[in-house]
Amino acid sequence: MGEALIEIKGVTHAYQTATGPLPVLDDLSLVVPEGDFCAVVGPSGCGKSTLTRLIAGLMKPDRGEVWLHGERVTSPRKTVGMAFQNPVLLEWRSILQNVILPLEIVAPSMPRRDRIARAEELLSLVGLDGFEGKRPSELSGGMRQRASLCRAIVHKPDVLIMDEPFGALDAFTREDLWQTMHDLRMKEPFTALLITHDLRESVFLADEVVVLSGRPATAQYVLKVGLPQDRTLDVLYEPRAVDMLHILRDQIRIAQGRAPQEGAA
């Protein structure tokens, strides 16, 4: 485990709306060490997407600071990769051309052949070989999300920020993609921040799970997962994982302003 890669220091943010300021984040602090996978869960509308936009430098916080790699974030950086709930693939480009897109911005001088090789390598890693020339509309939702993940990491970002990337997928496809995520991480390590609504997903994928409180959000609870790096889905049925899921569920209930469930432990 390396030094801190993502550092969020006392971030407070409010949106200006027609009915006045809407406080969304309140003195939120969070540290993700290099190489770690951090999952963030919290009640709906508590400010998770806002957090990702602040880390990516797409917005500036009202107060507090965001640091990446020991540098203060004030604007977007080329070393970030992003994936969203909606795969947002460009319909006029083939899958391969979609994956190459970030390279056109980040590495304009990279030879075409190398770009293609890089994209093909990733696509085959997520099981999309043979689909390079297809249009996004010819792929299933799960396949599109795989392509979107490839695009997010094609330029070897330091940080991968994902905002509910598996949220719209059915349960089986989702579990497949968790496995894909794992495989990708084994092949090329990256630091990740994953927003999710799925507690099992957070426990399976992450090294630590941060529970945010209700809006305005602050870090309410941090769970160190401590499962071995090389996991399979079976781990979720082991008692220690089940215990963790219970703890997280109680924390979510607290965040939602409800009492933890009786008899849960």
Partner 1 sequence: MSLRKVAVPAIAMVVVLVLWELLVWVQGWPNYKMASPSDLWPAFWKFRWLFLEYGWQTLWRTVAGLSLAVVFGVGLGMVMGFSRTMRDALYPLLVGFNAIPKATVVPIIALMFVGQHDMNTVLIAFLISFFPIAVSVSIGLSTLEPEYRDILRSLGASKLTIFWKIALPKTLPEFFGALKVAVTLAFIGTNLMEIVEPHGKGLGHLFDSGKISADYPLMFAVLIALAFLGIVLFYVVVFLERIFAGWAEREAT
Ligand X SMILES: Nc1ncnc2c1ncn2[C@@H]1O[C@H](COP(=O)(O)OP(=O)(O)OP(=O)(O)O)[C@@H](O)[C@H]1O
Which residues of the shown chain bind Mg ion in the complex (CB under 5 A)?
49
| Residue 242 in the binding site for ligand X (CB under 6 A) | no
Residue 75, burial from CB neighbour count under 10 angstroms (0-12, 13-18, 19+) = exposed
CB of 159 to Mg ion, least distance (A): 18
Reported as type and span, the H/E element at residue 244 is helix 239-255
Q: How many CB atoms lie within 10 A of CB 1?
A: 7
Residue range at the interface with ligand X (CB under 6 A); choices 15-23, 26-34, 76-84, 111-119? 15-23
| Residue 15 in the binding site for ligand X (CB under 6 A) | yes
Query: Smaller CB distance to partner 1: residue 143 or 161?
Result: 161
| Separation of alpha carbons 138 and 77, rounded Å | 32
Strand-pairing partners, residue 193, are: 38, 161
Q: What angle do CA 236, 6, 12 make, to 5 degrees?
A: 105
Residues that bind partner 1 (CB under 8 A): 53, 56-58, 75-78, 80, 82, 84, 86, 88, 90-92, 101-102, 104-106, 135, 137, 151, 155
Query: Smaller CB distance to ligand X: residue 182 or 215?
Result: 215
| Separation of alpha carbons 191 and 156, rounded Å | 11
109: partner contacted, choices partner 1, Mg ion, ligand X, none (Cβ within 5-8 A by kind)? none
Which of 1, 2, 17, 113 forms a contact with ligand X (CB under 6 A)? 17
| Residue 137 in the binding site for ligand X (CB under 6 A) | no
Q: Name the nearest CA neighbour of 196 among 149, 161, 226.
A: 161
Residue range at the interface with ligand X (CB under 6 A); choices 42-50, 70-78, 140-148, 234-242? 42-50
Tokens coding 225? 């997962």
Query: Smaller CB distance to Mg ion: residue 162 or 205?
Result: 162
| Residue 45 in the binding site for ligand X (CB under 6 A) | yes
* Non-local CB neighbours of 81 within 8 Å, separated by 6+ positions: 102, 151, 152, 153, 154, 155, 157, 159, 160, 161, 190
CB of 48 to Mg ion, least distance (A): 5
151: partner contacted, choices Mg ion, ligand X, partner 1, none (Cβ within 5-8 A by kind)? partner 1
> Nearest residue to Mg ion, using CB?
49
| Separation of alpha carbons 235 and 261, rounded Å | 24
Residues in the chain: 265
Lookup result for tokens 């249009």: 135
Query: Smaller CB distance to partner 1: residue 123 or 247?
Result: 123
Check if the beta carbon of residue 246 is closer than 8 Å to that of residue 240.
no
Which of 8, 26, 37, 48 forms a contact with ligand X (CB under 6 A)? 48
Residues lying near ligand X in the complex (CB under 6 A): 15, 17, 22, 24, 44-50, 215
